[in-house]
Structure 1
Amino acid sequence: MLDIAEGLSRWFEEGREFAVATVVAVSGSAPRGPGAALAVDGEGTAIGSVSGGCVEGAVYDLCVRALQDGRTVRERFGYDDEDAFAVGLTCGGVIDVLVTPVRADSSVFRAGVSAADRGEAAALVRVARGPAELLGRALLVRPDGSYGGSLGGEPGLDRTAAEEARAMLDTGRTGTVDIAQDGSHCPGGLTLFVESRVPPPRMIVFGAVDFATALVRAGKFLGYHVTVCDARPVFATRVRFPEADDLVVDWPHRYLRRTTTDARTVLCVLTHDAKFDVPLLEAALRLPVAFVGAMGSRRTHQDRDRRLREVGVTEQELARLHSPIGLDLGARTPEETALSITAEIVAARRGGTGVPLTGSDTSIHHDVDGRKAGDSGSRAAA
């Protein structure tokens, strides 16, 4: 439901009651993923979407029924070979939808929607499979691990659910986790749906060069909030970077010291000019960011490495630098280079090796802790 937070926030302000249908699981091909939502209020007004059209009518009816009887239900919609155009997903996929009636005075749901509408990080946890009396119960978890509301059940359930949700919130993941009703990680019991809402991660591109134009587009495609920074106003212009979220005219190291970064921030240094990138990298390599990469030839890298050592950058700090930036794709054009750079960023984020899957025995899906995505326990169905 955080997918449609802006609309639901208005409904809460207006005192409307509504029912919300949320996609909690997807298998095969489906138009939208977990977290997609459709809501219907008491007057029959609908906002959002769960499938792009093919099951909207049936889900709408479920919402109307939930408003009438006050019951939370979980329904599955899938492809039927015998009647492909009946209620179902003719694209061949299967989706599970959780339909929950929401009262206007529901403090947990209201707080979650308000946080998402303000762009704050929060995770909403709901019981998606389990005893009927627990279905739809909710818990709101903050980035610091604090939480409000309750899932009911045994005393340890809320605490364990909050720990799982906080781990997923750290990486902005939405999906399910299975735990026992007593809060242990034994199989069976309950399926919790964790819906994370976090501001988009930042990508800061230093150097308003031709390669930066393509990298901005690639960064936006991957969901980053992209900033371009350059000390030269003639290059850092909206005409050259129409898709950038922010354009900053300032010395790169000075801007980096005054802007906000976090553990998801990606820094791409494309200046390959010592007067810009040495002071910039000296600051960048001491920040707890996700990725620091710098463009340049191998000779440029060697010179940069020497200069960084001279200003006191340690071996441990230098080990964090991805230079020359990008994977070896044989890239030449700005677009190919942007693909090379973003491929390395994804590999670093997901724990990938960057080697071809053909002929290798590496896992196709990785997670940063080294386990396959979906192995067990706290792994989410992303």
Structure 2
Amino acid sequence: MLDIAAELTRWAEEGRDFAVATVVAVGGSAPRQPGAALAVDSQGTAVGSVSGGCVEGAVYELCQQALADGETVLERFGYSDEDAFAVGLTCGGVIDVLVTPVRADSPSREVFAAALSAAARKEAAALARPLSGPPGLLGRALLVRNDGSYTGETGGHSELDRTVAAEARAFLDVGRTGTREIGARGSRCGAPVTLFVESSVPPPRMIVCGAIDFAAALVRVGKFLDYRVTVCDARPVFATRARFPEADEVVVAWPHDYVERTEVDARTVLCVLTHDPKFDVPLLTTALRLPVAYVGALGSRRTHLDRTRRLRQAGVTEAELARLHSPIGLDLGARTPEETALSIAAEIVAARRGGSGVPLTGASLPIHHDPIHDDGPRPGARRLGPVA
């Protein structure tokens, strides 16, 4: 739901009633991941998507029904072998969808509005919603912030709220969206609770070191992929806002000094485009020891061999060198800055999602590489059509 926060925040501020259908679990080859959402207001206006088109019509009708009766429902959509055009995912996957009305009389309307507002402002927040458990939990929500504070209630009791808040905080710390099972003992309400936690976190960082023409193209691609992009170079004549108008920030500093003092996390990607030993060696010596998602360095294979020799002399271990993507990017036959930027971005996506980078044509590899767990229908879920 938080993926369409900007539009839904406007709806909430205008006082509109709406229903939102959120993907809470997927199995097999599903086009959208948990957190994807479709919302419908009382006038029939729709925004978002849960399946890329496969089941949008059926989900739209469920949203209208939820708006009419005020009931939250959990539905499962799966592939139908008998009729590929029946309600179901013709790609062979399975999705569980939580449909929640957000009306003036909804018990969690204020919580939903606050969660949407936080997501629209790119603030760190997690929305936790029970999918199963004792009666009265479905449709409730808890908004958990980065400092551990929370608003709303699950409809259970204060101890359950504290447990839910702690679980949601753990998801928020790593920017994760997904489900969590709380046992009967942990829920403190005599029955297990299935929890769906949707995290909204600030965009991940892309740090581009080296203010060259290739960097300008990479900045544009990075912004397209929703990174917060920083360009860093020690040469003030090159590191200018005029040359990189689309970057979120342009920093004039020695790259290794900047990388050492700036804030990075497990989603940060570092792209070293300087291919000059006086920049590369101190920078990569620092970068390869940081807890970041990706470190790549531009240069020919000859440059790479010379660079790794210098890094070993600087004390970089073999385990640290194994983290280096060099020469940077996938083999696309790239020539221009734009093609090179695409090559780099493709490798970053492959590293993030576990892709191989080989053509899908003729390959037997799975298209979606995210870890997917299908433990059967959630308690209380209704099923539409046979499930493969």
**So what's the TM-score if we normalise by structure 1?**
0.73
Partner of 2:195: 192
Measure the CA separation in 2 of the matches of 1:270 and 1:163: 41
Partner of 1:28: 28
Note the alpha carbon deviations across 1:23-61, whole angstroms, 9 max, x for none.
111222233221111122223222222222332222222
Measure the CA separation in 2 of the matches of 1:125 and 1:28: 24
Partner of 2:78: 78
Contact 2:289/2:320, CA 8 A, preserved across alignment: no
Deviation at 1:153, TM superposition (A): 2.8
Worse-superposed segment, 230-239 or 104-113: 230-239
Partner of 2:304: 297
Partner of 1:251: 253
Partner of 2:139: 136
Contact 1:211/1:338, CA 8 A, preserved across alignment: no
Deviation at 1:199, TM superposition (A): 1.7
2:156 aligns to what SS in structure 1? coil
Deviation at 1:64, TM superposition (A): 1.8
Matched letter for residue 96 of structure 1: D
Q: How does 1:308-319 map onto structure 2 within 5 Å?
A: none
Partner of 1:114: 117
Worse-superposed segment, 27-36 or 110-119: 27-36
Worse-superposed segment, 287-296 or 152-161: 287-296
Deviation at 1:260, TM superposition (A): 4.8
Contact 2:296/2:327, CA 8 A, preserved across alignment: no
Contact 1:108/1:149, CA 8 A, preserved across alignment: yes
Change (3 A) 1:328 1:44: closer
Note the alpha carbon deviations across 1:303-327, whole angstroms, 9 max, x for none.
4565x67xxxxx89x9867675448
Contact 2:80/2:88, CA 8 A, preserved across alignment: yes
Deviation at 1:252, TM superposition (A): 3.4
Contact 1:215/1:338, CA 8 A, preserved across alignment: yes
Measure the CA separation in 1 of the matches of 2:3 and 2:286: 36
2:12 aligns to what SS in structure 1? helix
Q: How does 1:1-382 map onto structure 2 within 5 Å?
A: 1-104=1-104, 106-153=109-156, 155-183=158-186, 189-209=192-212, 212=215, 224-232=227-235, 245-246=247-248, 248=250, 250-253=252-255, 256=259, 260-277=263-280, 280=283, 297-303=304-310, 325-326=325-326
Measure the CA separation in 2 of the matches of 1:297 and 1:13: 54
Q: Which has the higher contact order (CA 8 A, sep 6+)?
A: 2
Note the alpha carbon deviations across 1:60-95, whole angstroms, 9 max, x for none.
221222122211111112222223222222222222
- The CA RMSD over aligned residues, in Å, is 4.3
2:43 aligns to what SS in structure 1? coil
Change (3 A) 1:375 1:248: same
Contact 2:304/2:326, CA 8 A, preserved across alignment: no
Deviation at 1:282, TM superposition (A): 7.6
Contact 2:26/2:94, CA 8 A, preserved across alignment: yes
Contact 2:329/2:347, CA 8 A, preserved across alignment: no
Measure the CA separation in 2 of the matches of 1:9 and 1:344: 31
Change (3 A) 1:375 1:220: farther
Matched letter for residue 119 of structure 1: K
Deviation at 1:256, TM superposition (A): 4.7
> Percent same amino acid among aligned pairs?
65
Change (3 A) 1:373 1:166: farther
Partner of 1:361: none
The runs of 5 or more residues in structure 2 that have no matched partner are: 359-367, 376-388
Contact 1:154/1:181, CA 8 A, preserved across alignment: no
Matched letter for residue 84 of structure 2: A
Measure the CA separation in 1 of the matches of 2:330 and 2:122: 39
